[in-house]
Chains A and B, each alone.
Chain A
Amino acid sequence: DVKVTQSSRYLVKRTGEKVFLECVQDMDHENMFWYRQDPGLGLRLIYFSYDVKMKEKGDIPEGYSVSREKKERFSLILESASTNQTSMYLCATSRGAGANVLTFGAGSRLTVL
């Protein structure tokens, strides 16, 4: 089974802090994604990457950046955290091109005070 590991399950940060969320997968999937999930809004795509050093904006990229230096690792960066970035962040991976199944990590719940 593909394992998608998000290093931090719960984080509490202050407004203005820089936040790193890391995601590591162990099955050589090409594609990696960052979503946020909020009550009443569902899952929204922040960024995705289909190859090392490649990134594509999703629906809500503002206030976020990403880094993919190695195939297995995809990082989400909040340069200056704000309270409206309090959310559940989900990393996901998929194989190959086209409309394929996503495998999700357990999520990182971020609270920004």
Chain B
Amino acid sequence: EDQVTQSPEALRLQEGESSSLNCSYTVSGLRGLFWYRQDPGKGPEFLFTLYSAGEEKEKERLKATLTKKESFLHITAPKPEDSATYLCAVNYGGSQGNLIFGKGTKLSVKP
């Protein structure tokens, strides 16, 4: 069964304490892995797309990486405004309907 698993479910960091979020997947025929950020009461907002193992993308304090089995979202020196739920989604068939979302990691960054 195709699955996307995110860990940890929740992560509490002190401001400036770097860490990583994990997204592991068991789909065949990966067509793209997406990271989204979701603030409370809002819809998810796109961060990155990764298509092949070894690929990396960066934006400010965030860096996403991809292997054949998992993706990491590295957060360097986080700030309180980075607090949000981070969602991973995997497209496995190319069709718009072939998208599986993980359940998310809720990140809290304390000043």
| A contact residues vs B (CB 8 Å cutoff) | 4, 31, 33, 40-45, 48, 50, 56, 58, 90, 92, 94, 97-107
For the residues of B in contact with A, the DSSP-based class is loop
CB-CB under 8 A for A100 and B101, given A43-B87, A105-B43? no
A104 closest partner in B (C-beta): B43
| B contact residues vs A (CB 8 Å cutoff) | 31-32, 34, 36, 41-46, 49, 87, 89, 91, 94-99, 101-104
Point out the residue from A58, A99, A102, A105 that lies within 8 Å of B31, measured CB to CB. Answer: A99
CB atoms of B99 and A99 under 8 A apart: yes
Residues of B within 8 A of A98 (CB): 31, 94-96
Q: How far is the CB of A21 from chain B (nearest CB, A)?
A: 13
CB-CB under 8 A for A107 and B101, given A31-B96, A99-B91, A100-B96? no
CA distance A105 to B83 in the complex (A): 20
B92 closest partner in A (C-beta): A99
CA distance A45 to B98 in the complex (A): 10
Residues of B within 8 A of A42 (CB): 87, 101-104
Residues of B within 8 A of A45 (CB): 97, 99
Point out the residue from A33, A40, A106 that lies within 8 Å of B96, measured CB to CB. Answer: A33
- Pick from B89, B91, B95, B97 the residue with the most CB of A within 10 Å: B97
